[in-house]
């Protein structure tokens, strides 16, 4: 009798765990696809880091001395292009609410908040 009462609770808990694992896996797949796409679109880029926090905040760190040295206007253009790539990779039914692109001359680093980073917001369409 007690097992029958416990079953719905266990079922809901298992569904939540499986759902969060699927979301985490999905973000890893999207991040890998983002990185691959960015390297193809910007072949002079030495490195790129992509991080999604809480499924709603994306940060893309562009690691390129060349792209970091370009004009602010060109960085805005690149940021808009990266925003389009984010939408294409993550799709329209995603949970992203905000994002940023950070340009750094540090081509070999892994820091998601580089000291010389110049930040540009990604325009995420409202849902």
Domain at 91, CATH number: 3.30.70.2960
In a domain, 21, yes or no: no
% of the chain beyond a pLDDT of 70: 79
Count of domains observed in the chain: 1
Single pTM value for the model: 0.79
In a domain, 13, yes or no: no
In a domain, 93, yes or no: yes
In a domain, 116, yes or no: yes
In a domain, 22, yes or no: no
CB 41 within 8 A of CB 81: yes
pLDDT higher for 112 or 92?
112
Domain that holds residue 71: 29-122
In a domain, 18, yes or no: no
Question: Can you give the C-alpha Rg of the chain in angstroms?
Answer: 19
pLDDT tens digit string along 32-84?
999 999 999 999 899 999 999 988 999 999 999 999 999 999 999 999 999 99
Residue 99, C-beta contacts closer than 8 angstroms, at least 6 positions apart: 57, 58, 59, 60, 83, 86, 121, 122, 124
């Amino acid at each position: 009798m007690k097992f029958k009462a416990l079953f719905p609770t266990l079922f809901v808990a298992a569904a939540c765990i499986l759902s969060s694992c699927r979301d985490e896996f999905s973000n890893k797949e999207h991040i890998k696809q983002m990185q691959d796409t960015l390297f193809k679109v910007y072949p002079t880029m030495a490195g790129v880091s992509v991080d999604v926090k809480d499924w709603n905040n994306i940060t893309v760190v562009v690691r390129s001395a060349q792209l970091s040295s370009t004009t602010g206007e060109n960085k805005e253009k690149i940021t808009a292009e990266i925003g389009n790539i984010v939408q294409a990779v993550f799709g329209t039914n995603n949970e992203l609410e905000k994002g940023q692109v950070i340009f750094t001359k540090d081509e070999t680093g892994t820091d998601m908040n580089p000291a010389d980073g110049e930040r540009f917001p990604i325009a995420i369409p409202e849902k």
